[in-house]
Amino acid sequence: MRVPFIAGNWKMFKTKAEAAAFAKEFAALYQGTDVKAAICAPFTDLEVLKEAFAGTGIGVGAQNVHFADEGAYTGEISVSMLEEIGVDYCIVGHSERRQYFAETDETVNLKLKKLFEGPIVPIMCVGESLEQRDAGELFDVVRGQLEKGLEGISEEQVRRLVIAYEPIWAIGTGRTATPEQAEEMCAFIRAALIDLYGEEAADDVIIQYGGSVKPANATELMNQDEIDGALVGGASLKAADFMAIIDF
Ligand code: PGA
């Protein structure tokens, strides 16, 4: 049984003080909820959020990580640094990292492998651009991202994975995929996982939809069979909006 999982992605928003204020308000709203929730925040906020969410069941995630153990990689953060803080999740391969910071399917693969050595659950992002959708390449693109990103990942590891389907044209644009479009791709991803890992393992994988999810469209999206949750950018910045999505 997959428990619905809604994760916020704050991107480059919120100072420590702003994170602490959010956490206080959100923890109070979240009480008694059985939908899983997490906030993926800037590195500087992670410790503040771990402390503020202690005992609430709310998870904390990073938005990126390096795949090396340690080394001369100015500006980077290692998996063990995140583990020391007790981080629960880490986004890997977000389209903004692919677009602006040279993330590739190969680096996604290295990061997944490194994360799977420890307890942090990766949230792997896949999704096509508008040009790729219009050219009818959407399924090939996503299948390629899955195959390359998951190369060498075992069945046991993939069962812990979260995949976020985020069509690039729907991110931060206010243009949400229709529930049918989102469901179609999430079902395609599930079928690809069955192909690669078999039915039992594929059945454990949480598949989220992301891209302009907001309180007004969350219910429709979340009611689709193959959509197990959401990765929420803009609407996760306000505790009340984020909670309204969790309460879909
Ligand atoms: P958005 O971002 O909800 O603001 O469209 C989603 C994401 O990038 O994860």
Nearest to 7 by CA among 50, 60, 72: 60
pLDDT in tens, 18-56: 999 999 999 999 999 999 999 999 999 999 999 999 999
Does this model's pTM top 0.95? My answer is: yes
pLDDT in tens, 197-248: 999 999 999 999 999 999 999 999 999 999 999 999 999 999 999 999 999 9
The best mutation among 40, 100, 166, 175 to test binding of ligand 1, ranked by most ligand atoms within 8 Å of the C-beta, falls on: 166
- 114-133 average pLDDT score: 97
Q: Which domains does the chain have, with CATH numbers?
A: 5-246 (3.20.20.70)
Burial class (CB in 10 A: 0-12, 13-18, 19+), 5: buried
- CA-to-CA distance for 193 and 190, rounded, in angstroms? 5
| Residue 171 Cα: closest atom of ligand 1 | 5
Ligand 1 centroid from CA 191, angstroms: 25
| Residue 212 Cα: closest atom of ligand 1 | 5
Taking phi first (over 0 means left), then psi (-120 to 50 degrees means alpha), and beta for anything else, what does residue 26 get? alpha
Ligand 1 centroid from CA 247, angstroms: 18
The pLDDT score that the predictor gives to residue 137 is 98
Ligand 1 centroid from CA 126, angstroms: 13
pLDDT surpasses 90 at 1:
no
Active site residues: 94, 166
Nearest CA to ligand 1 atom 3: 233
Ligand 1 centroid from CA 72, angstroms: 31
The pLDDT score that the predictor gives to residue 128 is 97
The length of the chain in residues reads: 248
- CA-to-CA distance for 113 and 53, rounded, in angstroms? 27
- 190-195 average pLDDT score: 98
The pLDDT score that the predictor gives to residue 172 is 87
Task: Compute how many other C-beta atoms are within 10 angstroms of the C-beta atom of residue 117.
Answer: 12
The pLDDT score that the predictor gives to residue 32 is 93
- CA-to-CA distance for 52 and 98, rounded, in angstroms? 31
- CA-to-CA distance for 93 and 112, rounded, in angstroms? 10
pLDDT in tens, 135-168: 999 999 999 999 999 999 999 999 999 999 999 9
DSSP lists the bridge partners of residue 36 as: 5
Indicate the residue type of 16: K
Report CA-CA distances (Å) from 136 to 88, 140, 163, 217: 36, 9, 22, 25
Q: Residue 174 — very low, low, confident or very high, per pLDDT cuts 50/70/90?
A: confident
- CA-to-CA distance for 22 and 49, rounded, in angstroms? 9
In 3-state terms the chain splits into helix, strand, coil percentages (rounded to 5) of: 50, 15, 35
